[in-house]
A and B are shown apart, each in its own frame.
Chain A
Amino acid sequence: MKNIIIIGATSAMAKEVAKLYAIDKANLYLIARDISKLDTIKQDLIVRGASTVYTAEFDANQFDSHETLIEQAFQTLEQVDVLLIAHGSLPNQERCQTDCSKAIEEINTNGISVISLLTHAATKMEQQQSGNITVITSVAGDRGRQSNYVYGAAKGMVSIFLQGLTQRLSKSGVHVLDIKPGFVDTPMTAEFDKGALWAKPEKVAEIIKKRISKKNSFSYTPAFWFAIMTIIKFVPKAIFNKISL
C-alpha cells in the first residue's frame, strides 16, 4: 500500500493521478486551497478504493506555513512513496505586463511556492533514502514566448531547480520527475478551442503514474511534445521574434 502526498490536489491532472492510486488502495494526503472541493474529492477517492484520505488546506503564497504543512504530512503518513506538486495558476499575460505586483504574485504562485515546498520536502525524502518527487511544470518553461512568458519564467525556474535536485537526491535513492505537459484539457484551459495537440488529464495522469513506477525521468507529456519543443527551442531568434507564438 503506497503513501501519496498531493499538493494542488483539486487540479484536474492531480485528481486523475489520485484516482489511479485510489484503485491501488493507497493512503492519500491531499493538500489544496479549497477545502470543500477537497471533501468532495475525498469521498470520491474512498468510493474508488483509497484506504485512507487525509486533507489539509493551504495557501501557496503563505510560504511560512510550508514547513509545518510538509512536516505534518510526512508525520501522518510516516513513509512517503510519492509527493506530487501540481498547483498553479494560468495568469493573464497582458495584465502581468502592466501590473508588476500581479506578475510577482504569479511568479510566487507558480515558481517560488513550489521551490519553498520542495526545499522542505527534499530534506525529508533524503532522510527517508527513498521515494519519488514529481512536479508538474510546463513546456512553457522551455523558451519564453510573448503570449505567456511570466508563467513560462516561473515554470522554467522550477525545472532548472529540479535538475539540480535530481542530481542531489540521486545519491540518496530518491527519484525526481519533472513533468512538462503540453496542452491539457482542464478547467484552467476551458476558454481555449481544443485541437489535435490537446490531451485529456486522464491520459496525462496515466503517463505520470507509469513514469513514477518505472523511475523514468523523461519530462514531456505526452512524449510528442519533445519533438515540438525541440523545434521551438532551436528556431533562430531572428525568426522567432517575428512569429506570434
Chain B
Amino acid sequence: MKKLTSWGKYPLINANIIIPTTRQHLAGLELTGIGRGLGRSYGDSALSEQVIVSENLNHFISFDEENGLLRCEAGVSLDNILTVFVPKGWFLSVTPGTKFVTIGGAIASDVHGKNHHLEGSFSDHVTSLTLVISDKEITCSRNNNPELFHATCGGMGLTGIITEATFKLKPIKSAYINQKIVKAKNLNTALELFEQYKDVTYSVAWIDCLSTGSNLGRSLLMLGEHADKGKLKTHKDGLLNMPCDMPSFLLNKYTIQAFNSAYYNKQLKEEVNSTIHYDPFFYPLDGINNWNRMYGGNGFTQYQFVIPKEAGKEGLTEILEAIAESKQGSFLAVLKVFGKGNQNLLSFPMEGYTLALDFKLNDKLFSLLDHLDIIVRKYDGRLYLSKDVRISEEMFKASYPQWEAFQTLRTEYGADELYHSLQSKRIGL
C-alpha cells in the first residue's frame, strides 16, 4: 500500500499500486480497480483502492506516414509523441493544456483543446483502441464493437483497461504558432470576439474572474494558427520547479486580484501579434514542474463546466457574479467555445461555452461550488469529470443523460464488477 493522490492533491488515500510489465502481462493478471496514467486528472477519477498504472506500456507500435496514423501503447504520453513527431513534421490533432497526459488518459477523459470548435475532442481522431476486460482483449472502433468504443472514449476508465490505440496526427510545417492576443473589456466583448474569430483554429480566453460591474468578464482572447515558417524544433524539459508547497495564505483574494489585474494590464494594446513556439502556446504551465504546489498543502480543485450556447451570456454572467461575490477568486479562469459534441456516452464537450476555474481548497469552497452546480443545472450544463472531486450522484445523473446506457453496457461486459474509482462510486456507477 502506498499513499496516492492526483493533481489537485485531494484526497490522499492508501492504494495498492500495480505496474504491469507488458500488455500481455496485464491481460493475464485479471486486474480490478482503475487504470491510471500520469495522475494528471485533478480529483478522484483515477483513485481507487487498487490502481493499474500504465508506466511500462510506453511503446510506439507503428506509424503510417501516408495518413498520419500512429499506433501506440496506452502509457505513451503526449510529451513522448511531441518529442518524436514534431521533428518529423507531425502534431497532435487535439491537445489539452498539459502534455503530461497518457494516451489512455486522453481517451478515457476524451480531452479537448483550443480547437474543439473546429476539430472536436481527442477521441474524434481515434480510429481504433484495444482494452482489456478481465482476461479478454477487445479491439473496438466506430465499426467494430461501436457501442464499447463510444462508451470507452470519455468513459473514465470504467469499461476496462485501455492498452493501446490508433489515432491521427496532423501535418505541420513548423513548430511555431502565429499568435494574436486581443483584449476584451468585458464578457460581451469576449463572446463577440469568439464569434468574430470562429474560423481561427485555436482560441481560448483568460478571464479576470474577480472584476465586477461593467468590467465583469474582462479577458484576453488568445488565438493561434500553425505557422508556415520556422524549424520543426521540439520542446525542452521544464526548467523551473516548485520545490515545495507554497504557504497556503499566499493565495488570497488580494493577491489573486493583484495578479489578475496585472495580467490583464500587461498588454496595453488592444491587439498584439507574435510568433511563439508551440510549447508556451499550448502548455504554459508545463514549464513549471509541480505547479500544483502553488495552492498549498491542502490542494486545489478545478471547476469546469459547460453550458449550452443559447444560455451563454446569461448563464456565464450569473456564474461570474456568484464567484466575484463570494470573493473566492480563481487564479486561473479559462473560457472556451465548444463546437458540437460527439456520440460518446460520457464525453464532456457539448456545443456551448466552457469555463474552467482553479480554486484553492478550503472550508468555504464546497458550498460555493454547490451553489454554482445549481446555476449550471438551471442552464442544462454539466461538469467535467476529469477535474471533479465532489459532485453528487444526482448532479451527475441529471447532467449526463446517457449514463444509463453506459451502465447497461458496463454490466453487459462485466466491467461494472471490476472497474471503479472513488468518483464512480460517488456518482453511482
Which residues of A line the B interface, CB within 8 A? 23, 36-37, 40-41, 43-44, 47-49, 187, 190
Contacts and interface: CB of A to CB of B under 8 A. Distances in A.
Nearest to B19: A190
Interface in B1-29: 19, 21-24
A43 B56 contact: no
A186 B88 CA distance: 29
A40 B84 contact: no
A187 B59 CA distance: 15
Nearest to B88: A49
A175 to B, nearest CB: 28
Interface of B: 19, 21-24, 56, 59-63, 70, 72, 84, 87-88
Contacts of A190: 19
B22 A36 contact: yes
Per CB-CB distance, the 7 closest pairs between chain A and chain B, nearest first, are A47-B60, A44-B59, A44-B60, A47-B63, A40-B59, A43-B61, A48-B84
Given A48-B84, A187-B56, A43 B62 contact: yes
A36 B24 contact: yes
Contacts of B84: 23, 47-49
Contacts of A44: 59-61
A170 B23 CA distance: 44
B19 A43 contact: no
A47 B62 contact: yes
Given A47-B84, A48-B84, A41 B22 contact: no
Main secondary structure of the interface of B (DSSP, over half): mixed
Contacts of A40: 22-23, 59
Contacts of B72: 47
Given A37-B22, A47-B60, A47-B72, 12 more contacts: A23-B87, A36-B22, A36-B24, A40-B59, A41-B59, A43-B59, A44-B59, A47-B62, A47-B84, A49-B84, A187-B19, A187-B21
A200 to B, nearest CB: 10
Contacts of B59: 40-41, 43-44
A190 B84 CA distance: 26
A190 B18 CA distance: 11
* Chain A CB within 10 A, most for which of B62, B72, B84: B84
A190 B23 CA distance: 18
A37 to B, nearest CB: 6
B171 to A, nearest CB: 17
Nearest to B2: A193
A33 B60 CA distance: 21
Contact of B60 (A23, A36, A43, A187): A43
Contacts of A41: 59
B12 to A, nearest CB: 16
Contacts of B22: 36-37, 40
A174 to B, nearest CB: 32
Contacts of A36: 22, 24
Contacts of A23: 84, 87
B19 A48 contact: no
A48 B60 contact: yes
* Chain B CB within 10 A, most for which of A47, A48, A187: A47
B251 to A, nearest CB: 26
19 contacts: A23-B84, A23-B87, A36-B22, A36-B24, A37-B22, A40-B59, A43-B59, A43-B60, A43-B61, A44-B59, A47-B60, A47-B61, A47-B70, A47-B72, A48-B60, A49-B88, A187-B19, A187-B21, A190-B19
A44 B72 CA distance: 8
Contacts of A43: 59-62
A32 to B, nearest CB: 13
Contacts of B23: 40
A238 to B, nearest CB: 38
A48 B80 CA distance: 10
A20 B63 CA distance: 18
A163 B392 CA distance: 66
A137 B69 CA distance: 40
B388 to A, nearest CB: 29
A169 to B, nearest CB: 35
A30 to B, nearest CB: 13
Contacts of B87: 23
A47 B58 CA distance: 13
Contacts of B63: 47
* Chain A CB within 10 A, most for which of B19, B24, B60: B60
B238 to A, nearest CB: 13
Nearest to B70: A47
B290 to A, nearest CB: 13
A44 B62 CA distance: 7
B4 to A, nearest CB: 14
